[in-house]
Amino acid sequence: MALGREDVVGKPTGAATVHIERGPVSAFARALTDKNPIYHNLEAARAAGFDNIPAPPTFTFAAPFWGTYPEDQPEDPTGGKGSPMRELMGGLMAKGGIVLHGEQEFIYHKPVQAGETLYQEGKITDLYTKEANGVTMTFLITETVYKDDAGEPVVTERFNLIHRL
Amino acid sequence: MAKPIPKLRYDEISTGDEAPVLSHKLDRNDLVAYAGASGDFNPMHSNEFAAQAAGLPSVFGHGMFSMGFLARAITDWAGVGNLTEYRVRFTKQTWPGEELTTRVVVTGKEDAGDGKQIQLDVTLANQDGESKLAGSATVVAS
């Protein structure tokens, strides 16, 4: 049975402790063609008002790939079931069609810098369907917040995934 | 405590002002480098055989590469650390060989209680003017 809106809205997608490190940040900036010394040279970062190398604006989207270490992860808020997104998208893909990244949003509350540890929590915030011209589009929205040691929000991400059939 | 330095002066900014344009010709090496740096190893971006088997002409670029590249046009102009909001809609895929060009335009400004902010419309398009990303951003000015 397919998951409906009431089944998933508000449910957690996951939680993680994410370490931001200089090497991955620099490699990420370079991959984006950004040679700005601020991402590669500590003196340049400090001269620009930072304590350490700052992360490029979209870095938190990739940060968990680099900085989640098994020894300091929080309790799994999905209770071992994993993100509901998997079941949702699995169910939709079984009908065929494609999954696309529709929209992405970042809200920056504080700078993200190498040497910091961020605490990530995600949840599903919406699920809805639109039909037009014989095409059915299912929209899945998640919100992920990265907080610092003081529990203050640092970055909020909103991720909009579309399944099109 | 980090204190990024705004590069833009609020009083000198007007609606319609544009940031310097950035252009980049996308190639397969970019897709490989971005896959490695971001952890997105979706074969559609790195495996030509898999992409063609899926009915595509070739591998295509990561949407988040485009979003990161467009962000560079904003941060080069406004200074790293001065972005408060950034959102995009992914309109079309990008393909190796395309020349991608940024456009960052001032749509308004506001001196509210919590600082001087500049609103921007941001887009990335190819050499034929085909839009790849469209969105908005807000930056802090001094």
Query: Of the CATH numbers 3.40.50.300, 1.10.10.10, 3.40.50.720, 3.10.129.10, which one belongs to the domain with range A5-164?
Result: 3.10.129.10
Closest residue, chain B, to A111 (C-alpha): B81
The proportion of chain A whose per-residue pLDDT surpasses 90, expressed as a percent, equals 81
Average per-residue pLDDT in chain A? 94
Q: Do A32 and B72 touch (CB under 8 A)?
A: yes
What interface predicted TM-score (ipTM) does this complex get? 0.96
Tell me if residue B111 falls in helix, strand or coil.
strand
Other CB atoms within a 10 A radius of the CB of residue B9 amount to 10
Cβ burial A46-60 (10 Å sphere, 16+ → b, else e) = eebbbbbbbbbbbbb
Task: For tokens 């001269």, name the residue.
Answer: A47
Query: What pLDDT is recorded for position A5?
Result: 87
Q: For chain B, which domains are there?
A: 10-26+61-141 (3.10.129.10)
| Min distance B124 CA to chain A CA atoms (Å) | 14
CB of B138 less than 8 A from some CB of A: no
Q: For residue A157, what is the enclosing H or E element?
A: strand A153-164
Contacting residues of B for A48, CB less than 8 Å apart: 4-5, 79-81
Domain ranges, ordered by start, for chain A: 5-164
* B64 with A33: Cβ contact below 8 A: no
Name every chain A residue with its beta carbon within 8 A of the beta carbon of B104: none
Give dist(CA A138, CA A11) in Å, integer: 18
How many Å apart are CA A136 and CA A29, to the nearest integer? 37
Neighbour-count burial of A155, counting CB atoms closer than 10 A to its CB (0-12 exposed, 13-18 middle, 19+ buried)? buried
**DSSP letters spanning A42-107:** HHHHHHTT-SSPBPPTTGGGTHHHHH--GGG----TTTTS--HHHHHHHHHHTT--EEEEEEEEEE
Minimal Cα distance from B6: which residue of A? A48
Q: Give the pLDDT mean for A147-152.
A: 97
Task: Compute the distance between CA of residue B114 and CA of residue A109 in angstroms, rounded to an integer.
Answer: 12
Rounded to two decimals, the pTM is 0.95
- What is the residue-level pLDDT of chain B in tens, covering all 142 positions? 789 999 999 999 999 999 999 999 999 999 999 999 999 999 999 999 999 998 999 999 999 999 999 999 999 999 999 999 999 999 999 999 999 999 999 999 999 877 899 999 999 999 999 999 999 999 999 9
Largest CA distance in chain A: 57
